[in-house]
Structures are given as structure tokens and as C-alpha cells.
Amino acid sequence: MRFFGWAAVGLTFLLTNCRDRTNPEPPQYRVDARVEPYVQLFRQEARSRGKTLSIDNLTVEFGQAKNQNVCGECQLDAGQPPRILLRLDAPCWTQASEEARECLVFHELGHCLLRRPHKNTLFPNGANVSLMNSGDVSVYATCLYDIGGDVCDKRSRRAYYLDELFDETTPAPAWGR
């Protein structure tokens, strides 16, 4: 009788704690319509570099990140789809240039989909080596107030930063010296 008691406990444990592997939870794709074009562009840029990404299990929404000093945050919680929170306020989104918005979204997607950590290395000229830096992610954006020259218009650097985002072994560009 004692064996059957333990067998019943074991069977109850298995039935209540094991997931049905044949019926996994369906993917959750919830991306704010204002961010959707950037997510699709990220996917397109990945494909153009030979990378295939699954983005059918992703949440991107506007809200307050845990760290209030950042414009975006990737949250990778066990058992949950990757979640990106973006701040909607003026410097982070509403007054940001298209390029700055793209940089922000691509940076967070780099964390959530590519599992890239921060990379704070600098080139000899002081420019960031990676879009994945923890400071100013607007590495190929224009300034809000145009002061002219390479100081403010870094759009020509976009190809390098996207190449490096998808392949960390990308050689340094001439402008980084």
C-alpha cells in the first residue's frame, strides 16, 4: 500500500508540473504600430546580411523602463517573449529624428533578438565601435539641431554600424581612425 501512495504522489506531480510539449504556448507578437516599421526594417537588414531572425515572439511597447535614465530597455524574462520598453517622451521618441529612433529600436532589438551585450569600445577618433554601446546609441543619426558637418550628420556611418551589429568581426572603417 505504501508503494501505491508514493506512486500516486509521483503521478500527481507529473500531471500538474509537466507541460504538454505537443501543444506549446503560441507565440505572442505585440509591437506598437509606431515601432513596427523599424522592426520590419531590422529584419530586412538582417536578411540582407544573410541572417534569418524569428520575430514572431516579441513585444515592443511604450512605457517606463526599470532604469529611468535610458530611452529603451530589453527585458528577457524566462518563459516570456522578449519585451522592449521604449520611452515616448521628447528626447527619446517624440522629438527624435527618424535615424535616432531607428538606432534606439535596433539597439534594443540587438539585445533582445541577437542577444548582444553592451560594447563600449571606442575608435581612435573617439567614435563608438558599436551601436551596442551603453551611452549614446544615436551613432548614425543626425542632431536635433543641425550644427553642420560630420559632428552632426553621421548618416554615412549607418552601413558600418549595421554590419557590426550583425557581425562583430566587421573591420574598422576609415572614418574611425
H-only helix segments in 23-169: 36-48, 98-112, 149-152, 158-166
Gap between the Cα atoms of 60 and 3, Å rounded: 51
Three-state DSSP state, 15: helix
Q: Is the pTM of this model over 0.85?
A: no
Tens of pLDDT along the chain (177 residues)? 455 555 554 444 444 454 444 555 678 899 999 999 999 999 999 999 999 998 899 999 999 888 888 999 999 998 889 999 999 998 899 999 999 999 999 999 999 999 999 999 999 999 999 999 999 899 998 876 655 555 678 889 999 999 999 999 999 999 998
Domains, the chain, with CATH or none = 25-167 (3.40.390)
Tell me the C-alpha to C-alpha distance, in Å, between residue 144 and each of 49, 77, 92: 30, 34, 11
